[in-house]
């Protein structure tokens, strides 16, 4: 199916600036006012406000057009979508007809109010879509806010998550020098799913219990895990799942990534979970 030149496009609900150009659009105080006065919905944390770009992040889940700039509507829509963990709301300057290089290169604009949904975290670093050219028409973005869910899933048999933000647990041994770290699993596909880490923790315990039964040794079981996104130069590498045989407090979350040559590694969307039946807490003998 080929679109016709200059075909009318759906009109957005946002205001059109006068004069109708990108510079005036970017400076329209209405957009900044809406973004800066927006409330943070229950169950979400604000990631950034009033930016002039939208997110290009991990796990795109589609978008919804709004009648008004309303973060609570976006949050409600996100809550209805499986795996939605974040949303980006913004004003977008779009063409009112499909631009054509000769027939209608720079048509009048319309302003859409968009909610875009993601299965991974969003931040200012990956809000790097500043718009694009369509023939002679320049798409632009204003009043862009990002929100990340604090209500992440709780796997069966585990405590409610402890949110660690941009840090990971950095604890290998306990106070008696016992080695508590049990390894890591990595997934490079989307979406971000804490249940995969819980399943990996259970599988690690089952594997060790089976080996111990054969060898007559004391098994080391997985009682605690920390799952997060690892980023390399602001690009998602994947979901990491670090497993431990003991529960560690948030105060040990001191791993913020690091530098390797020219590459910068950072951590995002970090959560920790304990087994509610046996958290594996260290007890002095």
DSSP string, 105-130: SSPPEEEEEEEEEESS---STT--B-
pLDDT at position 285, please? 25
pLDDT at position 174, please? 65
Q: Quote the pTM value.
A: 0.69
pLDDT at position 282, please? 45
Print burial letters for 168-189: b (CB count within 10 Å at least 16), e (below 16). bbebeebeeeeebbbeebebee
Cα→Cα distances 227→32, 194, 195, 267, Å: 35, 7, 10, 10
Helix, strand and coil content of the chain, in percent to the nearest 5, comes to: 20, 35, 45
Is 161 strand, coil or helix? coil
pLDDT at position 281, please? 60
The mean pLDDT of the chain is: 91
pLDDT at position 66, please? 98
- pLDDT under 50: residue ranges of the chain: 1, 282-285
pLDDT at position 215, please? 87
């Amino acid at each position: 199916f080929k679109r016709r030149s200059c075909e009318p496009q759906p009109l957005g609900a946002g205001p059109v600036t006068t004069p109708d150009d990108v510079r005036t659009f970017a400076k329209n105080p209405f957009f900044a006012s809406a973004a800066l006065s927006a409330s943070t919905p229950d169950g979400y944390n604000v990631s950034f406000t009033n930016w002039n770009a939208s997110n290009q992040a991990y796990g795109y889940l589609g978008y919804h057009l709004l009648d008004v700039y309303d973060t609570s509507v976006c949050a409600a829509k996100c809550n209805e979508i499986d795996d939605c963990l974040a949303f980006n709301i913004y004003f977008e300057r779009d063409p009112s007809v499909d631009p054509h290089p000769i027939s209608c290169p720079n048509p009048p604009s319309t302003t859409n109010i968009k909610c875009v949904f993601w299965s991974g975290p969003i931040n200012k670093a990956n809000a790097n879509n500043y718009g694009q050219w369509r023939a002679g028409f320049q798409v632009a973005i204003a009043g862009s806010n990002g929100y990340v869910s604090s209500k992440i899933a709780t796997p069966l048999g585990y405590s409610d998550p402890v949110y660690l933000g941009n840090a990971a647990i950095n604890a290998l041994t306990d106070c008696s020098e016992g080695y508590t770290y049990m390894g890591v699993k990595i997934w490079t596909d989307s979406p971000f799913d804490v249940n995969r880490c819980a399943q990996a923790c259970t599988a690690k315990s089952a594997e060790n219990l089976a080996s111990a039964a054969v060898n007559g040794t004391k098994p080391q079981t997985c009682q605690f895990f920390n799952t997060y996104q690892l980023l390399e130069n602001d690009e998602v590498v994947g979901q990491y799942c670090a497993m431990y045989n003991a529960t560690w407090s948030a105060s040990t979350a001191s791993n913020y990534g690091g530098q390797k040559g020219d590459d910068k590694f950072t951590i995002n969307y970090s959560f920790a979970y304990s087994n509610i039946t046996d958290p594996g807490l260290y007890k002095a003998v």
